[in-house]
Chain A
Amino acid sequence: MNLKELVTGVQGEKQFLLGNEAAVRGVIEAGVSIAATYPGTPSSEIGNVLSVLAKDANIYFEFSTNEKVAMEVAATAAASGLRSFTFMKHVGMNVASDSFMTTAYSGVRGGMVILSADDPSLFSSQNEQDTRNYARLANVPVLEPSNCQEVKDMVKYAFDLSEQFGIPVIVRTTTRVSHMRGVVEFGDVKDNSSNNENHWKRGHFDKDPSKFVPVPAFAGEMHVRLWDKMHKIEEITNKSDLNKEISFDDDKKYGVISSSSAYNYAHDVVKFNDLNMDILKLGFSYPFPKEKVAEFLSDLDEVFVVEEVDPIAERDTLAIIGEKNLNVVVHGKLDGTFPLYHEFNSDVVADGINKILNFKQDTSLAYSSSLEELSAEIPSRAPVLCAGCPHRAMYYGINKAIEELGLKTSDVIFASDIGCYTLGINPPYNAADYLLSMGSSVGDGCGFSVSTDQKVASFIGDSTFFHSGISPLINAVHNKHNFVLTVLDNRITAMTGGQPNPGIPIDGMGDEAPEISVRKLALACGCDYVRVINPFNLEQVIKTYKEAFERDDTAVIISKAPCTLIKGLAKKPPVTFIESNCNNCDKCVSELACPAISKINGKITLDASQCDGCNVCIQVCRYGALQAGRE
């Protein structure tokens, strides 16, 4: 499919779309004018697609420096009467939460939708937090699509709902919804034509401090209005078609309540095992549709609540049973029927229901012992730093510097951060000892340097530094903390798929933009020692780190070289391997661990098709077995 069809596609047309692409179509159909994000998997592709389509779709789009800024861009747009969209991964909500909480109070004029993508089973995240908790914390509505069509339809509906009640609305997805691909039928597109010389429409902010300035006198009233809105919306959730019963049988003893991706598994298990249970699917799950749930429960003896991450609908169901004095047994996460963590699938849901209904037959296949042995002995294949990755060279160099300074590994604490460079945790680099969140490496450096006598090396990427590394760096300098901060400036937001950030001269819509200098920022924060190094020059790397570790202030090293995955970079010739020179010392494999070099059947082997020509291995090999390739 050509992505442009997300803009040009007409009502009734069908496309095979990723959940995140379906979200973009929903945004386009809803006539959104302003969109902002900070990239985070599993929501990243929404930004990648909007970045390409924004101008065609009359949308202003930006990659903001962090999720809080993105939330503020969207909130002010909606306060000015425009439809606005912000989206992030679940942990992005933590960063955005300070402004998000108050946006619930002040409300909106144009529709404002927040898509937050949860990551059960932590495919690319540091925790499994559940966005539905934020909806309850701030008290705003939640929609939970289960498939790509619903993503498109619910995003679109969320804007109508938001506008009708003047409240921001959350659309909660999971990895398996955002990264599901399915057939999506397009709907009609609401006009969002520009009313000025820009490609997007301008609104007007009509002043009303009692609505938009939460000083105590006004904020108290705002809280009353928020509850008033939510009580009215609860009447809608009780009637909404998004909360629907899927009927499989008239036998009313057992039933299922479910939402999001978990609903898909529950549906297939009930259907394909003839379990004779009706399912209440909660697509509009907060405010919790109490009356609808109570009505569903009224015929039942026992109910399974099937939901991923936290037992939220389960607790709400128990509360209604108590409130209405119903006699229904609830099976969910709290009674141990289903796991409290990790994503579900049909097998997990069937196993849980089987604990109560005992419907499964044991028909496991038997295999030869040779297969069991083979399965136990296959090598692991964890994600690794790419061949030619500048981070590998830097990690190799810092470890050499530590060795040459006569320090033990236990003498140096590595505080890591969120990005590809977290993969430095793997051997042989072993360069990640502590990690909390985006930007935490800098604050962690502050804490470790006053709490221990160990050396501290903090690592942060360029995009993460702009996101939330600057204020802790000011803290470090002002409070005289002693550590070495490395900014791994690879000229892109790499881990999420290569989005621009303020350090490069291009913005989210592909236009030229001012480039913000990490070096000047570090100097402006008051750092006396700021060095820009080329990580592929090992001698320079080792020398600089030795110097920095000897200091007693906050030293900043900017390790600057572009990510090898950036498109359009000049190709360098692959390294040449001269087998007759190889002494089998294995340093290139055991200390550098580049995926282009492996040891197969006792021999060093270089895969020229993988080699990126970074030439770092040449500097590692003492025997001249690895030599620069010719053009």
Chain B
Amino acid sequence: MYVFKFADMERYRQAGSEKMDNHYNIYICGVGGQGIIKTSTIIGEAAMNQGLDVVMSEIHGMSQRGGSVSTELKIGGYNSSIIPNEGADMLLSFEPIETIRGLDKVNSETKIVFNTHPIVPSSSDKAYPSVDAITKTLKENFKHVLPIDGTQLAIEAGSVLALNMVLLGAVTADDNFPLSKESVIEAMKNNLKPKFHEMNLKAIESGYKSIKG
């Protein structure tokens, strides 16, 4: 891992060029079925509604069958929908060990927000590491490590299925995130059934507070 970095990362990071104040790359990862694609789509639609350039990459098909899933979302004048190594502003992880798998995209300034509730693979060659050890090791190496018990917050909001809304709320709490919480909520309402809106709003709010305090 960690094989390549752009010659001038600062330039790259600012490179939304025409809209350089609004560039933002989010790498979202987790396990198939956790609502990762829907979360990314909501952010993307909110970005479009705010008049920003946005591209997103997602993987469907075989990788959905309980395997690792990731999406990449880039706001600002990018053509490529894939985030370069060390090019993410935020790593949003739905599951502890998937955070580790996503570290190629992280640099020293990246915000690392991750759900601490593990999903243990049913058959695997290796033992699942302790979540405390993961958190400790991440904090040793990165400045902005933000673990949250998203699964618990989702249950408190009404359903474990609201995990993606908790994490969506957490994204909007980052000061550098170029979209307003309101526009993200608007996009959520446009993408999910009205009967879940109240629960989702609760989940978004608790995710937001878990970061903002």
Contacts and interface: CB of A to CB of B under 8 A. Distances in A.
Given A16-B54, A368-B141, A495-B62, A381 B4 contact: no
Contacts of A570: none
Given A45-B60, A347-B3, A600 B128 contact: yes
B133 A374 contact: yes
Contact of B60 (A41, A367, A594, A605): A41
A364 B1 CA distance: 10
B48 interface: yes
Contacts of B133: 374
Contact of B82 (A15, A176, A350, A378): A176
B58 interface: yes
Residue from B66, B68, B86, B140 having most chain A Cβ neighbours under 10 A? B66
A180 interface: yes
Contact of B122 (A359, A362, A370, A597): A597
Contacts of B61: 41-42, 44, 123-124, 495-497
Interface stretch (B95-103, B178-186, B203-211): B95-103
Nearest to A89: B61
Contact of A383 (B11, B53, B65): B65
Nearest to B55: A182
Nearest to B120: A598
A361 B6 CA distance: 8
A610 B193 CA distance: 23
B48 A14 contact: yes
B194 interface: no
B187 to A, nearest CB: 9
A595 B122 CA distance: 5
Given A383-B63, A423-B65, A375 B100 contact: yes
Interface string B107-146: 1100000000000111111111100011001101100000
Interface string B66-89: 111000000000111110111100
B59 A147 contact: no
Contacts of B11: 272-274
Interface string A368-402: 10110011011111111110000000000000000
Contacts of A347: 3-4, 84-85
Given A180-B55, A273-B8, A264 B81 contact: yes
Interface string A331-351: 000000000000001110011
A123 B108 contact: no
A379 B124 contact: yes
Contacts of A426: 123
Contacts of B125: 379-380
A621 to B, nearest CB: 16
A374 B97 CA distance: 9
A370 B80 CA distance: 33
A384 B79 CA distance: 33
A183 B54 contact: yes
Interface in B27-41: 31-32, 40-41
A427 interface: yes
B126 A368 contact: no
Contacts of B48: 14-16, 183
A393 to B, nearest CB: 15
B134 A374 contact: yes
Contacts of B138: 371
B67 A384 contact: yes
A272 B79 CA distance: 11
B127 to A, nearest CB: 7
A593 B122 contact: yes
B176 interface: no
A451 interface: no
A364 B44 CA distance: 30
Given A183-B53, A375-B103, A383 B64 contact: yes
B67 A382 contact: yes
A420 interface: yes
A15 B49 CA distance: 9
A363 B67 contact: no
B137 to A, nearest CB: 5
Contacts of A359: 7
A268 interface: yes
Given A350-B4, A495-B62, A182 B137 contact: no
A176 B65 contact: no
Nearest to B191: A1
B158 to A, nearest CB: 15
A360 interface: yes
Contacts of A370: 137, 140
Contact of A374 (B64, B82, B100): B100
Contact of A271 (B15, B31, B100, B190): B15
B152 interface: no
B107 A346 contact: no
A606 to B, nearest CB: 11
A263 interface: yes
A381 B141 contact: no
A14 B53 CA distance: 12
A365 interface: yes
Contacts of B59: 123, 175, 179
A274 B128 CA distance: 44
B5 interface: yes
A181 interface: yes
Contact of B140 (A175, A363, A368): A368
A274 B141 CA distance: 31
Given A124-B62, A175-B59, A273-B11, 11 more contacts: A176-B82, A181-B58, A183-B53, A267-B80, A273-B6, A346-B87, A365-B108, A374-B129, A375-B103, A383-B63, A598-B121
17 contacts: A1-B45, A16-B44, A44-B60, A179-B59, A180-B55, A272-B8, A345-B84, A346-B82, A380-B121, A381-B67, A381-B97, A383-B64, A384-B65, A385-B65, A420-B65, A495-B62, A598-B121
